[in-house]
Structure 1
Amino acid sequence: MTETQPAADTAAATAPATRRALLEARDLRVEFPSRGRRARAVDGVNLAVGEGEIVALVGESGCGKTTLARTLLGLERPTSGEVRYDGAVLDHGSKALKAYRREVQLVLQDPTGSLNPRHTVYEAVAEGPRIHGLAGEREIVAEALARAGLRPPERFFLRYPHELSGGQRQRVVIAGALALNPKVLIADEPVASLDASVRGEILALMLKLRQDLGLSALVVTHDLGLAWNIADRVAVMYLGRIVESGPVEQVLTAPRHPYTQALMSVLPESPERVVLTGEPPDPTRIPGGCRFHARCQVLASGRAAEAGVDARCRSELLDVLPATPEAHVACHWARAVEPAPEGAGA
């Protein structure tokens, strides 16, 4: 699907057969005040990341995926619903959050912006261990850099970010997360700012970390090609809610939701380009019925009317999808005309 296609086979080969949910969102909702109204940035989401699993969260800019990631990190408080880690509800007290962030670490999109230009590589990676008072700082930093593929690590200790390539800077950011020996990485567009030539290297590194350390990861991206290459499961988000989810090969080779089909159509090998009209609706004015219906190519083409669901698309709300591993879709038309894949749900 992209220049790093073989990684998908690696992901499948190294993925555990069964997984216990490690990080979960349960009916999560996050609202913000906006011009006298409430913007529903996350509007009912169930999501689970299992032990040793990589889940891709995909969607257009503004769909709520970054807000969801920040809430899972404890940086935003949910309006309702809950975040669970290792079976326990996330405690937003300062001491509890500090302990939680040793377990769940963020990898930011832009390594240039996330690294202090006045700090050496050593200082950047040592920041976390110092905050948490970990002993053996030098050994921790060296091991983290080595695991991130910067070897020999001592050669990078005194370098500054401007002396590194983009790929090396992203590896330093990953090393900073690894220095705390986390169990989960939340990676926000981890390769978006990198040249195509090094994207595959970073994706391969994340797969190797999963294989070597048993790390779990939630990868936030707008790039379905990236999801194909790295993820075990994918969740497609639109206007604050997950509209399709399931095993990555099942969802991306046979997408059931018109929105997923439109996202897939921009890939070079897609036989037909779907051009969505307009912009996603204002999250303070989420439309009734299916939240995608105003832009839906299936409704506009008359295919929903042929299936007898056009009125339902415009007026009947869809349920919040569960976080189970099987394929699920929130679409009146897909449920009416397509037999669900084996093991799939509504």
Structure 2
Amino acid sequence: MCGKTTTLLLVLFTLLLTTSLSKDLCHKDDKNTLLKILKAMNISWVLEDDCCTWYSVDCDNANRVISLAISNIDVSGQIPPEVGDLSYLQTLVFRKLTNLTGQIPRTITKLKYLRSLRLSWTNLTGPVPGFLSELKNLQFVDLSFNDLTGSIPSSLSLLPNLLSLDLSRNKLTGSIPESFGSFPAKVPDLYLSHNQLSGYIPKTLGNLDFNRIDFSRNKLGGDASMLFGANKTTWYVDLSRNMFQFDLSRVVIPKTLGILDLNHNGITGNIPVQWTEAPLQFLNVSYNRLCGHIPTGGKLQEFDSYSYFHNKCLCGAPLDSCK
């Protein structure tokens, strides 16, 4: 009787151990998909049976792959269309992969749970895909430091949960879409710097309370004063190295503004006294057409002359005294 009991206990223990081990293994469909992706990108890793333990892979409690983040390794080829088969993926990162080429595949629209898409510092080409607007759960989109061309698709403004859009350091042309003045929910941080964008900023952007805007190093012109306002909570504005022309005297900046860069434009007028009330940590208004006395007080005298020089007739500390 004792022998039978021992045998039964061994059988039960084996079953429990097998069940426990099987729960540690990622879903077979996800594993097969990952193997196809690694092969297509010529990635050679020493792989254990459980793909949830693989480098750059994370799984949820049900052992479904929810994150794939590959960066700073030697890969080649294009983004495999199979990435769209990781059905539960929430985060997709391909970053600092200099030999990753080609366009962003449409199969990515199958990732209905995707929240964060970061394809940056690669050699991706082609357009910024308008089909990204089909991914309704997207919160963070970073396509910076690539070779993307064409215009910015207006459909990106339809993303209901977007918190940040970074298209900087590409070769994008055309204007900022009018639709960017009507994001459906929270106003996202918007980074469009180092492109070849032209035209005027849509006036409707003035109705939005951005936290961070970077439109620097483009070919944008006209009036950008609508981006400011006393009732806004903006923290960061970089409009440097464009062709903006407006009267700074009329610009009331938010009392929350910490970073402001307006250098290398055609801005006229003087610096308002109201600016002394802002908690500025960085300021650059150099290379414009400003005049008048730099107001005394607040943070304005804490910046060196570099922040103010090469203006038409700006004077006062930290520049030379007004005559």
| Structure holding more helix per residue | 1
Structure-1-length-normalised TM-score: 0.28
Report the structure number with the largest CA radius of gyration: 2
Larger relative contact order (CA 8 Å, sep ≥ 6): 1
